[in-house]
Amino acid sequence: MATNGWSSRIDSVSLANVAQWIGTQNLAASTQSPEHAITMPPQCYTDSAFYEFEKEAIFSKEWLCLGRVEQVPNVGDYFTITMVDEPLLVVRGADEQIRVMSAVCRHRAMIVTAPAAVDPETWLDSKTVPDTSGSCTQFKCPYHYWTYDLDGQLIGAPEMHRTPGFNDKDVRLPQLPVEIWNGFIFTNFDADAPPLAPRLSRLEEKFANWHLDQLVDPEPVWVRDLPWNWKVMHENSMEAYHADRLHAGLHAMLPASHVMPTVYEPGDAAVITSIRAAHIDYSVNPTYKPLRPIIEGLSQEDRWVSTFALIPPILLIGVMTDSVLYRMVIPTGPESIHIRFGLLIPQHHLRPRRYKQIRKMEAEAVRIIGAQDWAADSGVQKGLRSRFAPRSRLSWQEEVLVSMNRWLVERYTAAAERVAAGPGPSVQVVELATGR
Ligand SMILES: [Fe+2]
């Protein structure tokens, strides 16, 4: 079934303009060896036409993290999430499988999981219906009561029997591919996308001893409408150069001078960077030491080396010796994002006596370091809009940025070639699997 892909709503002239512009920008200069590479053009972080182009080049082609399996432990558990303007519904079906489908009613495009009324106070803040979660046996759109089962099949539509030729059985919420990797739920708007896991083998090896699929996230937190580009946030999280400066003193257990070579080969679905800690059993909190028991089964190397991995474009994972932090970065425009961050810990570490005190100390560390990073992200975004915004050389401690550029440029170039090849279905229409 052909659906309205992002590009079908975009002026194809502006897509072609961006594709042409890309050809003039020498993006290859950002993918050279780290000693010679320069940063990407500032417009890639600020321009609205470029952002629309990115939706085609990246967000309609890559595996996008939507959350964790522990959010939907039982049959009928669901949550909705708006992924780059696309309202999606994640649900555990009657067969216990997790499904991802469009949350848009096939009747008049209402969000099927939206509340039947909004709280006027919340409404004034966001002016959009909230993402929701819960447990149910069917989804009843609150607008006209069109009702779908957990597979997205229409099973009821009041008064439609008088509409000639209308048959419930012909109507189903569009289904998207699902891949579960280590407890993270991924989907893809490209039904033909190659599977994700085989391209994460290097990361799988690095993170093996943490058994991410057996960890749980007790208290994920959303922060909405942060005013910077999605790549600005990931770059800040991945490069070590600023850690000794912006976070002077606070990051002493992971000194920038200990950064290790980036792991990335073309074709990889993750960019990986590591820092050898100043002492074994490092952690990021005011004591620099783990606050929880060390995760069982970690090797000596695991207890010395902090590894951060970006599975672009959404998910960042950083392992520590007592927990694993992760962050989802979801663009809402060229210069705005929602983020969700969480901390994964073993289920049996959830209820120690000091749990609340530990959470408080962890939250304090996140708050202090986060306040500095967010000041930088926000300042960088403002600077990138300047006519004087640079394309700068890099320090050796920023090598990972070159790997990220390589991942991006490969995709920008491929999409520019598709656009230049003309308005074929592969460019103009995103095909979604219908599940039939
Ligand atoms: Fe930082």
Write out pLDDT tens, residues 36-66. 999 999 999 999 999 999 999 999 999 999 9
Cα 313 to middle of ligand 1, angstroms: 19
Contact of 320 with 329, CB cutoff 8 Å:
no
Interval 247-261 mean pLDDT:
88
Cα 243 to middle of ligand 1, angstroms: 6
List pLDDT tens digits, range 62-105: 999 999 999 999 999 999 999 999 999 999 999 999 999 999 99
List pLDDT tens digits, range 319-337: 999 999 999 999 999 999 9
Token pair, residue 408, equals: 């991006």
Cα 125 to middle of ligand 1, angstroms: 29
Residue 120 has pLDDT above 90, yes or no: no
**Residue matched to tokens 């539509």:** 157
Question: Bigger pLDDT: 261 or 79?
Answer: 79
Cα 245 to middle of ligand 1, angstroms: 9
Quote the percentage of the chain above a pLDDT of 90.
77
How many angstroms separate the Cα of 377 from the Cα of each of 37, 43, 54, 383, 430? 21, 16, 20, 10, 32
- 134 burial level (CB within 10 Å; 0-12, 13-18, 19+): exposed
pLDDT band (50, 70, 90) for residue 122: confident
How many angstroms separate the Cα of 96 from the Cα of each of 69, 75, 155, 254? 11, 6, 20, 42
Token pair, residue 164, equals: 């000639």
For the chain, how far is it from start to end, CA to CA, in angstroms? 10
Interval 375-384 mean pLDDT:
98
pLDDT at 29: 98
Quote the percentage of the chain above a pLDDT of 70.
93
Cα 377 to middle of ligand 1, angstroms: 9
Cα 375 to middle of ligand 1, angstroms: 10
List pLDDT tens digits, range 165-224: 999 999 999 999 999 999 999 999 999 999 999 999 999 999 999 999 999 998 889 999
**Residue matched to tokens 């800690």:** 277
Residue 4 has pLDDT above 80, yes or no: no
- 35 burial level (CB within 10 Å; 0-12, 13-18, 19+): exposed
pTM: 0.93
Cα 370 to middle of ligand 1, angstroms: 7
Cα 372 to middle of ligand 1, angstroms: 7
Cα 38 to middle of ligand 1, angstroms: 21
Residue 275 has pLDDT above 80, yes or no: yes
Cα 246 to middle of ligand 1, angstroms: 7
Cα 229 to middle of ligand 1, angstroms: 16
197 Cβ neighbours under 8 A, 6+ residues apart: 179, 181, 204
Mean of all residue pLDDT scores within the chain: 91
Cα 255 to middle of ligand 1, angstroms: 12
Cα 376 to middle of ligand 1, angstroms: 8
Rounded CA separation 322/337 (Å): 29
